[in-house]
Amino acid sequence: MEWYTVAIGLFALLMLLVSIGVPIPFALAGAALPFLWSIQSFSTSVVSSELQLWGVWFNYILLAIPLFVFLGELIGRSRVGSDLYRFLHSGVNVRGAAAYGSIGACAGFGAVSGSSMVGSLTIGGVALKEMLHLKYDRRLASGILAAGGTLSVLIPPSLIMIYYGIVTDQSIGNLFIAGIIPGIILTSMFVIIVLVWSRLHRSHVPDSDNATKLPRKRIIAALTTIGLIGFIIIASIYTGLATPTEAAAVAAVITFVLTACFGGLTFSGFVEALKRTMLTMGYVGLLLSAGTLFGFVVTYYRIPDELTSLITSMGLSPYVILAVVIVAYILLGMFLEPVSMTFITLPTIFPLIHAAGFDLIWFGVVYTVIMEIAVLTPPVGLNLYVIQGLAKDDVSVGDVIVGSLPFIGALVLLVLALLVVPEIALWLPEIMS
């Protein structure tokens, strides 16, 4: 079969399976198997599939993913995340302190967890009800927390960057470094949005927040835990003392000790963190395995190489190619969650981006920001439903969508800034090297 026949067939069959409700991992495998059987006999394909899956499950780099997920779950099951929010909320005596505290807490949580959903659940579980009780506008409150969770994806460590690094064979450490300045810029933009919103709609933000201050011991415990874990992850990876997997392992152990001793982690919370990690990795593991089979078929028929050759032969400007890719990802992000998009599309897209002359570390940051947009865009914006689920009686999905729009605008502006000034992402990795 010709490569384009296989490409169209794979995509059509995948979309058909997804549209009838087949889970993404099984849809990927289901789309790949008919073409795999056209390459090999059934018995041979079973053996080759086993070898492919073995390679996925025993990949050393992939061990960082469950460790970072477990770390985030430990923080979420303890009171460290909520205490961080309450400290930032009650310790800053300014109008809109709860809103700014939510952004700060999401950014701080992002320094120890790479999951957007865990970030939204941990901080949002405390902050949303508190902000609604203080009479913050429900759209502003829900929008802040839905968008705030995305900071966990850009500020290292980032699970999406780990997935991207694995698929494209790029340095995960360099990707983490490249995300620092864009993460700081995005956090600042979120703060500016809240400031402007509070000036334009004064009734949406109370004049003062009457919050009870935390005991000093709990403040110290929360700040020490977040600061120490973040420092260990960042310093060990950036100085070359540890790989991302080793840094994640050490950080997970220290997180357990600190949250158990000082962060209020209970035995039931620990067990729940283990369960949630296993549930998450069960899905991700199936997705990785199915993605490997799908990628094997794609690579066998040389679809990425042929597609790259076809598009480059058209003589299109590199920025036209990039613009088409970005728009396609934004549209695709309305229907697929980021992890699925990464393993379905990146093996085909990144050779095209590389052939167009773009730096793959820089594109990794752009890609990560686009994935942040994906979790905020309906109809399948995960963070929208996570936040709405925290206060079903007071907040509708429409409220969360409207509240998220200014923050989506900030994400789009960050993408444009990265296109115009690539050094925003590349300057720090170059200095560190």
pLDDT for 244-289, tens place per residue?
889 889 999 999 999 999 888 899 999 999 998 888 888 777 877 7
Per-residue pLDDT for 51 more than 70?
yes
Region 164-179: what's the mean pLDDT?
A: 89
- Classify residue 139 as left (phi > 0), alpha (psi -120 to 50) or beta: alpha
pLDDT of residue 65: 84
Domain ranges within the chain, ordered by starting residue: 62-432
Predicted confidence at residue 422, as pLDDT, reads 95
Tell which phi-psi region holds residue 427, choosing left (phi > 0), alpha (psi between -120 and 50) or beta. alpha
Burial class (CB in 10 A: 0-12, 13-18, 19+), 171: middle
pLDDT greater than 90 at residue 230 = no
What pLDDT does residue 361 have? 95
Query: What average pLDDT score do residues 28-55 get?
Result: 78
Q: Over 90: is that where the pLDDT of 313 sits?
A: no
Neighbours of 255 (CB within 10 A): 29
**Which of 2-6, 81-85, 191-195 has the highest average model confidence (pLDDT)?**
191-195
SS3 sequence, the chain? CCHHHHHHHHHHHHHHHHHCCCCHHHHHHHHHHHHHHHHCCHHHHHHHHHHHHHHHHCCCHHHHHHHHHHHHHHHHHCCHHHHHHHHHHHCCCCCCHHHHHHHHHHHHHHCCCCCHHHHHHHHHHHHHHHHHHCCCCHHHHHHHHHHHCCHHHHCCCCHHHHHHHHHHCCCHHHHHHHCHHHHHHHHHHHHHHHHHHHHHCHHHCCCCCCCCCCCHHHHHHHHHHHHHHHHHHHHHHHCCCCCHHHHHHHHHHHHHHHHHHCCCCCHHHHHHHHHHHHHHHHHHHHHHHHHHHHHHHHHHCCHHHHHHHHHHHCCCCHHHHHHHHHHHHHHHCCCCCHHHHHHHHHHHHHHHHHHCCCCHHHHHHHHHHHHHHHCCCCCCCHHHHHHHHHCCCCCCHHHHHHHHHHHHHHHHHHHHHHHHCCHHHHHHHHHHC
**Calpha distance 301→63 (Å, rounded):** 30
- Euclidean distance between the first and the last CA atom of the chain, given in angstroms as a whole number: 45
- pLDDT (0 to 100) of residue 195: 92
Query: Backbone phi, then psi, for 343, in 5-degree steps?
Result: -80, -20
* pLDDT over threshold 80, residue 72: yes
**What average pLDDT score do residues 393-409 get?**
90
Residue 92 binned pLDDT confidence (cut-offs 50, 70, 90):
low
Do the Cβ atoms of 150 and 409 come closer than 8 Å?
no
**Mean pLDDT over residues 344-365, rounded?**
90
pTM (predicted TM-score): 0.84
Provide the pLDDT for residue 60.
Answer: 74
Mean pLDDT of the chain: 85
φ, ψ for residue 40, nearest 5 deg = -130, 160
Write out pLDDT tens, residues 214-228: 788 888 888 888 888
- Two tokens, residue 377: 């865009």
Residues sharing a CB contact under 8 Å with residue 325, sequence separation 6 or more, in sequence order = 349, 352, 353
211 has a pLDDT exceeding 70: no
State yes or no: cis peptide before 318, omega within 30 of 0: no
Contacts of 38 (CB under 8 A, 6+ apart): 1
